[in-house]
Amino acid sequence: MTPRPAAVDGDWHRVHPVSPLVRGWVALVAVLFIIGQNAFEDIYRAATTGALFANTGALGLGAAIVGGVFLLILGGFFLSWRFTRYRMGADKVEVRSGVVFRQHRHARLDRVQAVDIKQPLLARIAGLAELKFETADGGDSAMSLSFLRMDEARMLRQEIMRRAAGIQSGQDPVEAAQAPAGQGPYPGAPAAHPGRVDDGTGLGDGGPGRVPDAADPAPPAPPSAPSESSHLSDAPAPVVAAGIGYDYEEETERVMLRVPPGRLIGATLTGSGLVSAVLVFGILYGAGLLAIHWWMPENVAQEFFAEVGSALSVPALLGILFGVGSSIWSSVNGGWNFTVASIPDGLRLRYGLLDTTSQTVPPGRIQAVKVSRPLLWRLFGWYRMAVTVAGYGESLDGTTGKSRLLPVGTFDDVLRVLTVVAPDPGVGTAEEARELVHAGLDGSGADHGFVTTTPRMRWFSPLVWRRHGFRSTRSLLMIRSGRLNRELVLLPHERIQSLQLLQGPVERWRGAATVTFHIPPGPISPRVDQLDAAVAMDLFRAEREVAGQARRLRDRNEWMRPDELARFEQRTRQVVE
């Protein structure tokens, strides 16, 4: 049995002694380089003029200054380490830092959304790691703790996530996770919760356009009598440590999928807008040259081409290539060896080439999921996924950073991840769920019960009016959009915080309206555009009632309670096997 880490005993502890050096090595190298360069120039000048030994006093003074600066930097590093301490209490994690200007920061455990482990290159060499706490403030990381030994960082994250998830001292949630597996909501996945079944003809139990109302019964809780078949692994259950809850064994990871390097590079080249930008630039440049050749006098055209040639010189082209290369390198470096695995704490995402990140995504705190498919990716059958989690904050599109759930994958990869993050699509069978997701990504019109833009707005949205639409099931609101770059948003009813009904002058003239759904900040902003005004009003009223009741019945903030953990174990066991 692994002993519990000393960091969870409630006392104050210091970070690793070399932490200041790992944090500030760039500044240290820069200062030493500048000082060393100046000193070398002085020595070289004195040696070439024959005054090297004549000015030993000046050289000694210079060496003393260099040594003094180096000692001052080391002293600053020591004081920074000396005054940086952390403590894990019963309900919060605290960090104190600062020598002249003191800081005392804390993160409440009930507000912690995730704890990530980051390893910059030098920290990887030294075997250290940084903990970054994501809290429900919707902004940047509320707090970071750098640096700890890697094994200590893992155990500390494990304990923080368990306490944040609602596990009490002396409680063993592994026993509650032993639930029988069955037929899943997607092919090859565990069963959805029993309850009312969508009839496949519309929204909920009614016809097309109907939204489930608040009177519809909620799915019952999973069975309380566990069986031995739902363990994530065959390893023995950990022993409960007195006063803490778990024994600190290595977390069992079951790898669900890995992104091949070739696919990542191909997706970066075709899905980041690079190819589109090159094509647009080439077309515009070629059209401009043709126009100049046909419409300008020959002497003026020659002068113009000479100016353009000087502007597109080698340094300018090298600058453009450097910018493009940096963008490609950033995407490849950040998504290299991208791995999605299931652990008792949720989903574990690991990625990075030089700087590695181990990110934990608790499924119970996911607000919305977006599956998108850029135009050129249709040739290869690729998709990508993004997620909104309270505390991750704003993101441009979810293609990079913490909000990225899958940088590139096949349709089967998408279904594997959805089985965990959106386990209950609210339809009858696994095949219906698969077809529903496929219709959301590639379908159009009223197939599979989707309600689309009113035909009265087709002249204002000629390409997408049959594509834009929604479908509401027992558990999810599914919103599809886009014709060239297609998107599907899966929004659990209980995650809707508020709604807004919008009607601009054109929509009011054409009898249409837009419904916007408010969730915590992130890359996903759910909205259904240009619906028929009556349909939009029905959707607004129904979702207002359903979201309120679902939020009361399915509040999964402490998602690792025994019943929630049982559901997670149940739906992941068959996915990873």
The H or E element spanning position 243 is none
* Spatial distance between the Cα atoms of 159 and 89, rounded to a whole number of angstroms: 11
Six token digits for residue 437:
């997701």
Six token digits for residue 381:
């059958």
Question: Does residue 274 have a pLDDT over 80?
Answer: no
Question: Does residue 529 have a pLDDT over 80?
Answer: yes
Six token digits for residue 251:
């977390």
pLDDT number for residue 18: 85
Q: What is the pLDDT of residues 228-253, one digit of tens each?
A: 333 323 333 333 333 334 444 456 77
Residue of 414, 406, 410, 463 lying closest to 437 (CA atoms): 414
- Mean pLDDT over 428-433 rounds to 84
Residue of 21, 146, 16, 15 lying closest to 74 (CA atoms): 21
- Mean pLDDT over 47-55 rounds to 59
pTM assigned to the model: 0.71
446 against 170, higher pLDDT: 446
Q: What is the pLDDT of residues 330-355, one digit of tens each?
A: 889 889 999 999 887 778 899 999 88
Q: What is the pLDDT of residues 120-144, one digit of tens each?
A: 888 888 889 998 887 765 555 568 8
Mean pLDDT for all residues in the chain = 74
At residue 528 the predicted structure's pLDDT band, cuts being 50, 70 and 90, is: very high
**Residue 174 dihedral angles phi and psi, to the nearest 5°:** -65, -35
* Spatial distance between the Cα atoms of 344 and 177, rounded to a whole number of angstroms: 9
Question: Does residue 160 have a pLDDT over 50?
Answer: yes
Q: What is the pLDDT of residues 356-410, one digit of tens each?
A: 888 888 777 788 999 999 888 998 999 999 998 876 766 555 566 788 999 999 9
Q: Are 351 and 336 in contact (CB under 8 A)?
A: yes
Question: Does residue 158 have a pLDDT over 70?
Answer: yes
> What number of other Cβ atoms are within 10 A of residue 439's Cβ?
20
> What number of other Cβ atoms are within 10 A of residue 217's Cβ?
9
Q: Are 514 and 536 in contact (CB under 8 A)?
A: yes
pLDDT number for residue 88: 84
pLDDT number for residue 204: 35
* Spatial distance between the Cα atoms of 169 and 163, rounded to a whole number of angstroms: 9
237 against 319, higher pLDDT: 319
* Spatial distance between the Cα atoms of 534 and 516, rounded to a whole number of angstroms: 15
Angle formed at CA 302 by CA 300 and CA 303, multiple of 5 degrees: 65
pLDDT number for residue 340: 92
pLDDT number for residue 205: 36
- Mean pLDDT over 9-30 rounds to 80
Q: What is the pLDDT of residues 507-520, one digit of tens each?
A: 999 999 999 999 98
* Spatial distance between the Cα atoms of 459 and 469, rounded to a whole number of angstroms: 16
529 against 210, higher pLDDT: 529
Q: Are 130 and 144 in contact (CB under 8 A)?
A: yes
Question: Does residue 201 have a pLDDT over 50?
Answer: no
